[in-house]
Structure 1
Amino acid sequence: MKRVFIDLVEEGVFWADAEGCGVVPAIAHTVVDTAGAGDAMGAAMIHGCVQGLSTEECARLGAEASAEVSKQEK
């Protein structure tokens, strides 16, 4: 496995690859509805990987997408 991402929910996203590991902190915001937040996170991280972003950048993109989706009322 080349990249690992673990959703730490309120703590953020843990990421790891051959170069290192770290945690991208969760983005502070008011949560309205979490439906779809995990799906958005996964999709954003995959998109980042396909676009050639670093593992940390992919994790950050996923955290941002998850936060954005959870701000919205469904």
Structure 2
Amino acid sequence: MPWLIFSVAVLSTAGLLVLGALAVRVYREVLLLSRELDGSARRLSRSAAALEFAAEPVARRAGQLVLNEPEPT
């Protein structure tokens, strides 16, 4: 009967070690994912700023066209 208690303790310890190793792997992957998401957010922000900068002259020109449009008679 003591071998049963010993085997249960060994299997429990092995299971906890496996769960710990998997938790470390998940943590590393989450860190990598968060870094990639941060980089993507920064690139998106830069792209949005560039688009806004490029769209400003177009919007001004469109506003001038609307203001200079002759009135319908």
The answer, yes or no, to whether TM exceeds 0.5 is no
Larger radius of gyration: 2
- Structure with the higher fraction of residues in helix conformation: 2
Q: Considering Cα pairs closer than 8 Å and 6+ residues apart, tell me whether 1 or 2 has the greater RCO.
A: 1
**TM-score of the aligned structures, taking structure 1 as reference length:** 0.27
Higher strand proportion = 1
